[in-house]
Amino acid sequence: MVLYFTGTGNSRYIATRISEALGDELLSMNDRIKAGDTLPVASGERLVIVTPTYAWRIPRIVRDWLAETDFPCGAQAWFVMTCGSEIGHAAAYNRALCQEKQFIYMGTAQIIMPENYIAMFDAPHAEEARQIVARAEPDIDRVISVITAKQAFTPPRSNLYDRFMSGPVNPVFYSFFLKAAAFTAGDACTGCGQCAGLCPRNNITIQNGKPVWGGACTHCMACICHCPTEAIEYGKKSLGKPRYHFEAL
């Protein structure tokens, strides 16, 4: 089984590629999380977990759902993490999660995809994003080959910087940066509700024809990057920046 969590489509694309190549079932963690569904998942003997990188680890929302969900079949577990540049020391935390869940840890692979975190960084324009995806294709093929052969991924880089970013920096990010208060919808908003429909935390409600954000945001950027009229801003940090989601390519 291939599980994925996605904000703007990068992880969904890679998970779909892996699922089709392996002939394995594809399951959206977004849908399960949004529905509050932690019923047991019969994953079979092979489990591939595809997620974005949030502050140099898998997203807490993903880690919490995996921790709360029973996988009665047990599994060999491969982690595939998309990122704009690096995943830090995430592999160590993925290994620990596998020990907790009694999975056989088969390693963590990093795949660089177009940046989407416009609350802090710049997303690429469409042509540059296409080039980044094209460069990622051989890495996706290698991931598929390793999983098909039932081998472990080569361990990713792990130096002092990586351990620092995934260690002390990660909780600081969640404590001080993971806020929804800066999100606003301007006059271009049509009240279509797409942002609320995409939010995996059900953190957005439509009130008086405009989205209103609550306090449970996970900064997946689905709302701001999928808005069809680009009406949503994240304070001044997103002003003038291109939006990115994979389907737009």
- Residue 83's φ and ψ, nearest 5 degrees, are -160, 165
Residue 222 pLDDT > 80:
yes
d(CA 222, CA 200): 9
Residue 67 pLDDT > 80:
yes
Pairing between strand 232-234 and 2-4? unpaired
Contacts of range 207-210, beta carbons closer than 8 Å, 24 or more positions apart: 210/185
Enumerate the domain spans of the chain: 2-174, 183-248
pLDDT of residue 82: 98
pLDDT digits (tens, 9 = 90+) for 168-213: 999 999 999 999 999 999 999 999 999 999 999 999 999 999 999 9
Tell me which CATH code domain 2-174 carries: 3.40.50.360
Return the DSSP state at 54: B
Q: At what angle do helices 60-68 and 90-101 cross, to 10 degrees?
A: 10
Average pLDDT, the chain: 96
Residue whose pair of structure tokens reads 């995430």 in the numeric block: 90
Could you tell me which of 65, 4, 157 has the C-alpha nearest to residue 165?
157
Averaged pLDDT, 145-160? 96
d(CA 44, CA 68): 18
Q: At what angle do helices 10-22 and 126-148 cross, to 10 degrees?
A: 30
d(CA 249, CA 241): 17
Residue 219 pLDDT > 90:
yes
First to last CA, the chain: 27
Task: Provide the percentage of residues in the chain whose pLDDT is more than 70.
Answer: 100
pLDDT of residue 73: 82
pLDDT digits (tens, 9 = 90+) for 78-116: 999 999 999 999 999 999 999 999 999 999 999 999 999
Averaged pLDDT, 221-226? 98
CATH architecture classification, 183-248: 2-Layer Sandwich (3.30)
Please list, in sequence order, all residues whose beta carbon lies within 8 angstroms of the beta carbon of residue 119, skipping any fewer than 6 positions away.
Answer: 177, 182, 219, 221, 224, 234, 237, 238
Could you tell me which of 226, 220, 224, 223 has the C-alpha nearest to residue 247?
226
pLDDT of residue 96: 98
pLDDT of residue 44: 86
pLDDT of residue 43: 86
Higher pLDDT, 43 or 121: 121
pLDDT of residue 127: 97
